Chains A and B, each alone.
Chain A
Amino acid sequence: MRSAAAADAARYALAFVAALAASLALVAATNTVLDPFAMHAWLAIDGLNAVKPAIHTRVRLFKAYEIERVRPQAIVLGSSRSHVGFSCRHAALRDRAGPCYNLAFDGATTREMHAYLVHAHAVRPLKTVLLGLDSYHLSEAPSATRPGFDPTVLRSPARPAWRRAIEGDLRIAVSADALRASVDMLGHQRDGEPEWFAADGQRLGEVFFHREGEAFVRAGPRAYFDDIDRLEVGFQQPRPAAGARVAAAAPPDPAESSLAYVGRIVAFCRAEGIDLRIAITPSHVHQIEIAAMLGAGGAAERGKRALVVLLARAQGDRAAVPVWDFSGISSITTEALPPVGSRAEMAFYWDSSHFKSSVGDLVLDRVFATRAAAHPLPDDFGLRLDADTIEQVLASERVRHAAFRERAAADLATLRTLVDAAASRPQP
């Protein structure tokens, strides 16, 4: 016969398990119904959960699930430049077979792009991929992942669906972060914030940058441009102390470099018969100049060379993967800045990193050989790179660059002052 103590303890264990299960079920039910990260999007009630501010800082998570609803056959991969600049409404993407989705997100690394490519292809086989690469992607540095990247929510042939359901869906459903986001969401239903996330995944620059209180509006386009240049100095500035220590501790694995993941993307598209096109994105010339002023001027050229070598190796006896370089000197990338104090907007840029959708349309026209952009496509915008012509292209690029530096001496002197001042400050 069981003792009274044993009976008490058995009741205790039962009560414990029941209370634990009930607590977790309550959290999961709340989060699943309110769905603050739009993972399921099966219920949108005005005043309750129609507005979901939490997705704006969890774009990686949101897009991982959104892609299951859109089920695209054409996608755009890339960083915030591609996220803001490329629209699936452009005829080059709109008219391709199947839906299109802009799967780019802020700060995307090539490792993350590869994971999202595999995920999207697992959701529905892809036919077209536009890969937007920034100059810093073309490096031998290790390709990391950013906060917010969560491989458990991504599909892949190596992970069974049940693991994703438990480690991804269920884990997030019972998380306190999701509960906090749910509660926070309830208080933001009447904010009236304009929607700057397009249905095709693009971040709508015209809406986003023009929001009330946004730095672009508050400071003015020119002052904002200068602020971003200052931040860029911080991002590009070498940090020898930390770098030296990391390098000494663990030599980087070449198979895990940023370029190696570009290679994996190329190999995946080749193996799956996906039409892959690569565009090196058109940042403003200030980005190149800042790099040069900080002593990293040759990195972009080295990266482009490495990319064409990589593509030539992957080509075999098949057609080459087309790669277009929009980052060089052109009538677009050298757009003059408005005068200091002016509140006039630039035609092509939000800041030195992010180009406007109108420029993205020109890129798409060049890459897909269409004529859908509102502006005519300048001849000097977008140069095809391949192993045979790379040195000629780079040489002509250097000539154009020298000419630009002569005619833009005053602007570059101002930029030099700004860079020197920003570089001398302690970086966070």
Chain B
Amino acid sequence: MLFNSYAFLLGFLPAALLVFHALRRLGLERVALAALVLVSLAFYAWWNPVYLLLLVPLTLATFVVARAIAHCRVARPRIARALMIAGVVGNLLVLGWFKYANFLVDNAAALVGAEWTLAKIVLPLGISFFVFQKIAFLVDAERGKVDRFDLLEFALFVSFFPQLIAGPIVHHGEVLPQLRAPRRDGEPLAALGLTIFAIGLAKKVLLADSAAAVATPAFDAAAAGAPLDAVGAWLGALAYTAQLYFDFSGYSDMAIGAALLFGIRLPVNFASPYRAKDIAEFWHRWHITLSRFLRDYLYIPLGGNRHGAARRTVNLLVTMLLGGLWHGAAWTFVAWGALHGAYLVVHRGWQRVRARVSATPAGPVEVFAGAALTLVAVVVGWVLFRAADLPTAWAILRAMAGAGTAVLASDGVASPTHDAWAVAIVAALLAIALLAPNTQQITGYRGPSEAPVHAGPPSAATAAATAWRWRPTPGWAGASAVVAAIAMTNLSRVSEFLYFQF
């Protein structure tokens, strides 16, 4: 079930809220949590009930192993470490089987020229997210950072439906304390949640889907081997840049909004990433909870920046390469991860060179140039991320570099990517992504810690956002509801079919 579906908006969510809050009003806190677990499992089962046979046992097994780790952590640390490694490997094996088995077998077969085939394995929804949460829990149990083991709380932490399918990748330290001590300011959180959910829904339905209408034909045409010129290629790539941001950040907003309706604060996942002045800042603003996980549970355990420049470079590349592969089992994602690893290495090198040359802070021109270069680099990366395969990505990148094929109108059929309307849509969407206040700036939401997400000098957009700051007034309620209504009326299209002149 998707957040942007009538079944969720008109049926599932209201029913879940009704049950949960009714139980809490009766003072049945534990029963309310148990009900929320069941509701979350039902949410997951809506897609395919069979995969509950994966989610539930994996949750139970992780909990048992984590408790065993905590039990022997002090007295028998080696056993605790072995258990932790076994638990992490077990989770990774599950992820590897469902997500990478086909990829590995296909590539191994191609490499040795064999005809090995493996039946298509369907990827369970959200597996990449909940496996990471469990790994973090196991590692922290071994580090002594988990102070209480409660199966009900853990089950809800893993299965809580707002974050189950597509994150944010929630850390147990953020959510479990909230489950133990439910907030007493439920109504203000719910008001905030409605607004953030409406913003997310509008981002997804109105903005991301508009961008997709431009991006998808361009990438599909390239995949089909159709000619593509520089304008068409750039338009497609920029449209996808907007689509991915509004789609993913919109979905994260909906997750945060839905969680707030249950009185739970989820971490912020996006903070206007395309405004980043350099690639390192981009990763502090894009999919923040993934960056945080990769840093804490991969980059730092690998050695981080503690063992010299060469080791740091290797650690960065490995982290980004695996981060790329986490997004999907395809060489395009590996290439995308490697590219961003290279970006970060170059950025670190530039920082060192610049520090030697000048001690003065960057001026406006340098800042602007850095931001523009970062955006272009990110757009280039998104081509790899979105393309059907590496040859398609290469064809689009060549076209972006001016080495494509001119698209000629034939028989009055214009290329969809050369439509002036498409240019206007993409320009408007990028302007919103770059200049408009983001969800946190509008609503003041800061996540579980309630601390600012990305520190930095106030921008023009921030100042504007202060004037536009959300307040729980009837005017804001009406405006948010109208935004939600417009998005809901656009949830599905009543498609036309035009068959040449018919």
Contact = CB atoms under 8 A, between A and B. Distances in A.
A105 B498 CA distance: 11
A287 B102 CA distance: 42
Contacts, number: 155
Given A6-B185, A171-B6, A241-B224, A177 B494 contact: yes
A176 B486 contact: yes
B358 interface: no
Interface stretch (B77-85, B147-155, B468-476): B468-476
A181 B494 contact: yes
Contacts of B497: 57-60, 105-107, 146-149
A191 interface: no
Contacts of B309: none
Contacts of B477: 11-13, 15-16, 19
A58 B494 contact: yes
A207 B223 CA distance: 41
B352 interface: no
B478 A15 contact: yes
A98 to B, nearest CB: 28
A425 B413 CA distance: 12
Given A27-B489, A60-B497, A245-B389, A106 B187 contact: no
B494 A245 contact: no
Contacts of B496: 57-58, 147-148
Contact of B191 (A12, A107, A171, A215): A12
Contacts of A6: 185-188
Given A215-B501, A425-B411, A16 B223 contact: no
Chain B interface residue count: which class?
35 or more
A8 interface: yes
Interface in A21-54: 23-24, 27, 37
Given A9-B191, A13-B191, A242-B224, A150 B495 contact: yes
A105 B223 CA distance: 30
Contact of B388 (A80, A106, A245): A245
A175 B490 contact: yes
Interface residues of A, number: 62
Nearest to A243: B224
Contact of B473 (A12, A171, A214): A12
A24 B488 contact: yes
B318 interface: no
A10 B189 CA distance: 10
A160 interface: no
Contact of A23 (B186, B225, B481, B493): B481
Contact of A239 (B7, B224, B411, B484): B224
B6 A166 contact: yes
Contact of A175 (B190, B489, B499): B489
Contacts of A174: 488-489
B15 to A, nearest CB: 14
Given A16-B477, A23-B481, A177 B188 contact: no
B481 A16 contact: yes
B481 A15 contact: yes
Contacts of A176: 486, 489-490
Nearest to B195: A16
B499 A27 contact: no
Nearest to B389: A245
A305 interface: no
Q: Which of A6, A12, A23, A174 has the most CB of B within 10 A?
A: A12
A404 B474 CA distance: 79
B485 A20 contact: yes
Contacts of A95: none
Interface of B: 6-7, 10, 185-191, 194-195, 198, 223-227, 388-389, 407-408, 410-411, 413, 472-474, 476-478, 480-482, 484-486, 488-502
13 contacts: A7-B187, A9-B472, A11-B474, A12-B476, A16-B191, A19-B485, A20-B481, A20-B488, A23-B486, A24-B488, A106-B497, A175-B493, A177-B494
Given A175-B492, A181-B494, A428-B410, 17 more contacts: A2-B187, A9-B187, A13-B190, A13-B191, A15-B478, A16-B194, A24-B485, A58-B497, A106-B497, A107-B497, A147-B496, A171-B491, A175-B489, A203-B502, A215-B501, A426-B226, A428-B413
